[in-house]
């Protein structure tokens, strides 16, 4: 049984030696206990530090290490998709290089798939200890919102760290959409998933690449990709405002005819104009988000472009 470990890397030069040491220890334990082997597939997502040099050295020194290197930074979603496409294992794992995804959980994941009851065993954070309070608050709000407006279930605290069967991996790879939100894709393809809770772990080295702004844009991509409710909200707002406007016109006409009271001054009018303009811009922005995603999909651009990879013969052996 071959297990492919996909490791997206962006400026992870400092963390990679620690990761390799930890994963080799887990590999030795699982090889002795279950007789399975590991294939380590690193995906260099356009790193600007010495990550690629480290991966070249790993691939040269160890026969079970492979790497893919992008021509530029395409994002973690593209890196995960590339790894899933190139993975050759019977089981496939996605995990980070900073050891925030504990390798010690891999044996339990493996046993969960061996039981035959599940096609995926995924990790879920029990708490958000160590995160800034504002970030944790908005993260919880996002999960509550997306599960209310989408038919696809996205578990609060779910991360990309998971082990999947080949059947599930093939299903994910078949979804070749350009705008990818993997947390939603994992849920959309279905398959039985076992959730393993774990405590949040600090990075072993380096700095996080996810700022609050990037996470906000990523959450918007998830909402647009897996729900059309915002479009319905824009339509309902339009209808509601039309009804309110009609009632206000009737009220002003009746008030003027019965009491001879002229229309109020410009402050109320200015407020109404600004309010209506804001609602219109909001609805146009919602529509623009969906239109932009559709535009990018119709371009049929590649999700990533490879600049370099480890060389291999047709039989799988490496050449210098």
| 241 domain-assigned | yes
Same domain, 34 and 71: yes
Are 181 and 236 contained in the same domain? no
pLDDT tens string 198-210: 887 776 665 666 6
How many domains, the chain?
A: 2
The C-alpha atoms of residue 194 and residue 178 are separated, in whole angstroms, by 28
Q: Is 244 helix (H, G, I), strand (E, B) or coil?
A: helix
For residue 219, which phi and psi values (nearest 5 degrees)? -65, -40
CB distance 152 to 226 below 8 Å: yes
Question: CA angle at residue 299 from 296 to 301, to 5 degrees?
Answer: 90
Q: Residue 142: which domain range?
A: 2-209+302-309
One domain, residues 204 and 240: no
Query: Domain of 52: which CATH number?
Result: 3.90.550.10
Instruction: Output the CA torsion sign for 282, 283, 286, 292.
Output: negative
Distance separating alpha carbons of residues 205 and 16, to the nearest angstrom? 9
Q: How confident is the model at residue 316 (pLDDT cuts 50, 70, 90)?
A: very low
Q: Is the domain of 23 the same as that of 128?
A: yes
Q: Are residues 89 and 140 in the same domain?
A: yes
Contacts of residue 290, defined as CB under 8 A and 6 or more positions apart, other chains included, come to 224, 228, 230, 231
Question: How far apart, in whole angstroms, are the C-alpha atoms of residue 320 and residue 310?
Answer: 9
**And the tokens for 236?**
């309902």
Taking residues 297-316, what's their average pLDDT? 75
**Higher-pLDDT residue of 269, 16:** 16
Nearest to 14 by CA among 46, 44, 49: 49
Class of residue 15 by CB neighbours under 10 A (exposed 0-12, middle 13-18, buried 19+): buried
Task: Indicate the pTM of the whole model.
Answer: 0.79
CA distance 83 to 24: 19
- Mark whether 179 and 257 lie in a shared domain: no
Distance CA 297, CA 177 (A): 7
Asked if residue 223 is part of any domain, the answer here is no
pLDDT tens-digit series, residues 137-183: 777 887 787 778 777 777 877 888 999 999 999 999 998 888 888 88
């Amino acid at each position: 049984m071959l297990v492919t470990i996909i490791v997206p890397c962006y400026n992870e030069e400092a963390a990679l030696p620690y990761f390799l040491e930890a994963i080799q220890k887990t590999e030795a334990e699982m090889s002795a206990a279950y007789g399975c082997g590991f294939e380590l597939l690193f995906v260099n997502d356009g790193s600007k530090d010495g990550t690629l040099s480290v991966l070249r050295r790993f691939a040269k020194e160890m026969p079970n290490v492979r790497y893919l290197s992008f021509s530029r930074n395409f994002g973690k979603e593209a890196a995960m998709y590339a790894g899933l496409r190139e993975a050759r294992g019977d089981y496939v794992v996605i995990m980070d290089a900073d050891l925030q995804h504990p390798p010690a959980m891999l044996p339990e994941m493996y046993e969960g798939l061996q039981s035959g009851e599940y096609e995926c065993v995924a990790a879920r954070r029990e708490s958000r200890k160590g995160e800034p309070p504002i970030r944790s608050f908005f993260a919880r709000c996002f999960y509550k919102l997306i599960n209310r407006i989408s038919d696809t279930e996205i578990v609060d605290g779910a991360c990309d760290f998971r082990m999947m069967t080949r059947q599930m991996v093939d299903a994910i790879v078949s979804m070749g959409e350009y705008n990818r939100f993997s947390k939603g894709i994992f849920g959309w393809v279905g398959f039985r998933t076992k959730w393993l809770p774990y405590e949040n772990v600090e990075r072993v080295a380096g700095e996080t690449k996810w700022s609050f702004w990037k996470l906000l844009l990523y959450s918007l991509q998830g909402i647009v990709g897996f729900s059309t409710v915002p479009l319905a909200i824009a339509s309902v707002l339009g209808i509601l405002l039309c009804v309110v406007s009609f009632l206000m016109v009737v009220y002003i006409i009746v008030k003027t005819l019965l009491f001879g009271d002229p229309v109020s001054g410009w402050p109320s009018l200015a407020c109404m104009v600004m309010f209506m303009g804001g609602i219109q811009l909001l609805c146009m922005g919602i529509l623009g988000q969906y239109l932009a995603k559709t535009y990018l999909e119709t371009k049929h651009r590649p999700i990533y472009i490879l600049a370099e990879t480890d060389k291999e013969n047709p039989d799988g052996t490496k050449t210098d």
